[in-house]
Structure formats: structure tokens, C-alpha cells
Amino acid sequence: MKLEEKQIKANYEYQGKVINVRCDDAMIANGTIVKREVVEHPGGVGIALEDEDGKYFMVRQFRYGQMEVMLEFPAGKREKGEDKFITAQREIVEETGYEGYDWKYLGYIAPTPAYDEEKIFMYYAKKGKYVGQHFDDDENIALCKYSIDELVDMIMKQEITDAKTVAMTFMVKEMKNNESKY
């Protein structure tokens, strides 16, 4: 079965600060032209930073899209054209004050692939040198730390609902349990 779709014409509907929105003309597999809405986003990173006691740095922050305070792994948006590993190294210092070392790339997730270009690149690192936090002006963040088993339990109880945090928690756990394999 042929599944591919092709962009015929890009139509910009909104060009904003974090996102742009297009409503493209697209050709689906049977040759029909349909409308496809797309959110353009530069992508982001999430970082699971482990301390010497096996606890992970987490941030509590208000998320306007969900209108609530959420518990998440430290994360941030990629600057346009920035290498994702540079973003990760910058964001972990900004949000926790610590550098990372022994970095490992876990892969990426597509949070909502039907209509959003965003990819979230996920990293694991060990806690390195303290160099001090640095927040963006409109960023209010509270730091805390949890073990992987505590995070799994909070996910299953719906105290954590952020998609990248769910994915990263289980992928870090799987990586640790199968270090020879992944």
C-alpha cells in the first residue's frame, strides 16, 4: 500500500515567536489534493541528569498550553539552526546549575506527529560541576529530585503527564537494565 503524501503548496497562516502555522495543499496516495495543517517548531531537548545518589533533577513549572504546574525533566527549545547537543548542554546548566558529563543520546520522540514538526531530542548525563543556574526572564522554575522508580510510580498515578518525561523515564530505566544491549 502506498502511504506517502506530498507537499504541493505551503500556505503560511501564522508566523509567531515560538511557532509558525501552515495550512498546506498536499497530495495523498490516491492523487487527491487535501488540506494539511502543520505547526512549525525548531524542536527541543530533554535531559535526564543523574546525581551521585541515583536521583534525577526535575523541574516544576507552569505550562500555559495545559494551564497547570507540571513536573518534567529539564528541557528547552533549540535556537534556530543550533546543534541539539549544544542546546542540551546549555539548558541543563540554565535550569539546574550543573554541567553534565558521560552524556548519552537516547533518541527523539515526535510528540504529535500528525500536525506538528516538533522533535524532542532526549539525553542522559551524570551530574558534573556546579556553575550556577540562569533562567530566561519569563521562566519560573522549582527544582526537585526523584529516583527512576519514584518517577515510574508518579507516571502510573498520573502525577506526571508530560510526554517527554514519560518517554525518558522508561527509556532511561530500560537503558540501565540493558546496558549491553542499547
Q: What φ, ψ does residue 30 adopt, rounded to 5°?
A: -85, 10
Min separation Cβ 47 and a second copy, Å: 16
Rounded CA separation 98/100 (Å) = 6
- The span of 9-17, 49-57, 86-94, 127-135 binding a second copy (CB under 8 A) equals 9-17
- Looking at 25, 39, 82, 104, which residue binds a second copy (CB under 8 A)? 39
Work out how close the CB of 127 gets to a second copy at its nearest, in angstroms, rounded to a whole number: 22
Establish if 26 lies at the interface with a second copy (CB under 8 A): yes
- Of 8, 9, 10, 14, which one interacts with a second copy (CB under 8 A)? 14
User: 173 vs 89, 106, 162, 178, CA distance in Å?
Assistant: 22, 11, 17, 9
CB of 85 to a second copy, least distance (A): 16
Q: How far apart are CA 156 and CA 141, in angstroms?
A: 24
Nearest in space to 112 (alpha carbons), one of 5, 38, 7: 38
Restricting to residues 143-172, which ones interact with a second copy according to CB under 8 A?
Answer: 152, 155-158, 161-164, 166-167, 170-171
Binders of a second copy among residues 41 to 80 (CB under 8 A) are 41, 60-67, 69-70, 72
Positions 77 through 106 that interact with a second copy (CB under 8 A): none
Q: CB under 8 Å to 144, separation ≥6 — which residues?
A: 57, 58, 59, 60, 71
